[in-house]
Each structure stands twice: as C-alpha cells, then as structure tokens.
Structure 1
Amino acid sequence: MYNKQFFSCPYYRNQAAYPFFNAQWRANAQKFAAVSGTVTRIEDFNLGQDGASAGCYKLMSLESKDVGPVNFVISTETYFVDHKVVDVGDEVTGFYDANAPAILIYPPQYPAIVIAKDTEYEKVAVDYFDNQLISSDGNLKLNIAPSTEIILTNDQPFNRYPGNRNLIVVYGPTTKSIPAQTTPYKIIVLC
C-alpha cells in the first residue's frame, strides 16, 4: 500500500538549516535562459476581454536554429536593450526566467524579461553576478572601467556596486581565460 523506498517529510523543514529553501536566496539566484533567432511575426496579444490591455502586449515569434519556433510575450515591463525597435526579419535574443512555470504548448511561449537586438560587435548577457562580478554559471567575469556606464532600467545612474544582483551586461571582446573576462560597455541593473 505504501511505498517505503523513499523517505519524505513534507510538513516541516527548518528553513535556516537548508539555504536552498530560503526565499531570499531564491530571489538572488534567478536563472535566465536565452533563445536567439530571427523575428518572423509580431502581433497584438490580448490577455483579457475587457479591452483595457488592448495593444499593450505583443506576441513576438522567433525562428531559432537551435530550438525551432519560440514565442515571446512582450509586456510593458520587458526591457529592450538600448531601447531599439525590433521589426520582422531582425536577429534578436530573448531572455526569460528559466525557473518560472511555462505553459505546455507548441511552439513554447515565454514572458520576455529582456530583448536584445543582435549586433556584430556587441554581446548581451543577462545573469546574476556575485560580489566578484562573476556570472552564476562561472563563465563570465566583469572588470568595471571608468568608462563603463552603470544604469537602472529607467536610464538613471546607479551609484552603488553592481555585485550580488541580476544584471544586463552589454560587452564586446573577452579574454580566452576561464572565466572569460571583459570590460563591459554598459551594465543595466535589474532592481
């Protein structure tokens, strides 16, 4: 009647003893995933029948070489890097919360957090960077220069140290070290 192979105690857990249950740790360790591709369609996306949000949300369809077709829901909170307007035919990268629940449909559909128009000379990373400005996967280290612009999503200056935060990083060349190091052109702090 009962499966005694696996022990579980769903009722009580001392959260202080298990940091992976700590809500603050989870908030800081948000994981971002990215999909790059060509924009094939942009259309209005209606959330309700009341009409109050009509035109405020868009559905952006991408054709990715890696994962096939993907849809992004663009909201008023979606940040477009450098505030660039995206059109059908543009190469873009969309970033979304990898820990958020997703509806099981084909093609997959994600709420976009950041959209970056791909360029030849700039790369964009969206990730949590620790107090030494190393990304959560350990593949990128940021070296801040006096010329590095550090701003908020509303383009206002950010006057604190950007470590231990979720960041949008616009950068160019990197070293071939592990982790790769770069001096970013711009850092946008996601507060």
Structure 2
Amino acid sequence: MVVFASFHGTVTAISDFATGQNGASEGCYRLLSVQNERGETVHFVVAPATYFVDQDMVSPGDQVTGYYDQNAPVPLIYPPQYRALIVVKDNPYRNVKVDYFNQQLTSSDGLLKLNPAANTKVLLTNGQAFSKSPANRNLIVIYGPATKSIPAQTAPYKIIVWC
C-alpha cells in the first residue's frame, strides 16, 4: 500500500533524467528540483506515469507539491531524490488533498471529511468514470471551500481514485 508523503516548494530547475535504458526512454523522464522556504531541496524523478493534477504544465518558478511513496526505496544521496507519483501545481482557486480515505471518507490524518454531492465527478487517473465507492482508497481530492471544523468537511469538485 502506498503511504503518501509530500514536499512543497518552488521549482528551481527541470532537466532530462537518464534512466540507463539504452536511449529508448530518452526525454521521457525529467528531474524536477524543488526548494522549500527553508532552503531544503528535493529532486523528483518525473516519469511518464507521474500524475499531474489537471495536467498542469510546470515551469521553473512555479509552486508545487510533489507526492511520493514514503515506503519506496530511495538512493542515499543528497539532496534526496524521490520518484514523483503525483505533482500538484499551486492554484488559488482549488485545494488538493492526496491521502487514504476510510469508510467514512475521512482522510488518514483526520483533517478532511468528504461529503460528495450529486455533481461530484469520481474518476480514475485516466479520466474514465469510476463506478464504485471511493471509500477505503487512496484518493486525489480537488475541492474548494471547507468548514472550519475538525475534520474540515467539503463537497469536492472532483475525486480521482488512485488504483
């Protein structure tokens, strides 16, 4: 099971990343360098399967959050290098939560509870409709306003099921 961890900061550089596959994947992998406000840097390996919320294009200077599997093996190098599973570009008109949501659609950290409305889109990462319950799954939730309660409650715009 994926246990999501994240790193938020400003994109400082984007470069090609060689995978050593005899040039067959040349240009398909990128290295996204992100620095937070404390000056800490993380390199995200962006693969063709990395999910970009709303397919946003990312450029140096953009504020992003990169999500990775904290249980995945990583090389012991500095700065740390993680395989990006999901990248979210900051947008003042939406909030995004990536987490495991239980049977009650409450996030694993207990900070957000989902109350899907009839017009909430529930999709797979490929954009196709998801017909089952999103409960007890890893989800990418895109939402707007939320209550100030704990957990905050929201009727999300879109729920993307991370299978």
Q: Aligned ranges for residues 37-186 of structure 1 at < 5 Å?
A: 37-48=9-20, 50-66=22-38, 68-186=40-158
Corresponding pairs, count? 163
**RMSD, aligned α-carbons:** 1.2
For structure 2, the 5+ residue unaligned runs are: none
- Cα deviation code 1:105-142 (max 9, x no counterpart): 11111000000110112111111111110111111111
**Structure with more of its chain in helix, by fraction:** 1
In the superposition, the TM-score normalised over structure 2's length comes to 0.95
The structure showing larger relative contact order (alpha-carbon pairs under 8 Å, at least 6 residues apart) is 2
In the superposition, the TM-score normalised over structure 1's length comes to 0.82
SS in 1 for 2:54: helix
* Cα distance in structure 1, aligned partners of 2:22 and 2:29: 14
How far off its partner does 1:66 sit? 4.5
The residue identity in structure 1 corresponding to 2:84 is A
4+ long deviations beyond 3 Å? none
* Cα distance in structure 2, aligned partners of 1:133 and 1:67: 35
Q: Percent identity?
A: 59
How far off its partner does 1:172 sit? 1.5
**Structure with more of its chain in strand, by fraction:** 2
The residue identity in structure 1 corresponding to 2:11 is V
* Cα distance in structure 1, aligned partners of 2:155 and 2:53: 18
For structure 1, the 5+ residue unaligned runs are: 1-26
Tell me what 1:7 maps to.
none
The residue identity in structure 1 corresponding to 2:44 is F
How far off its partner does 1:53 sit? 1.2
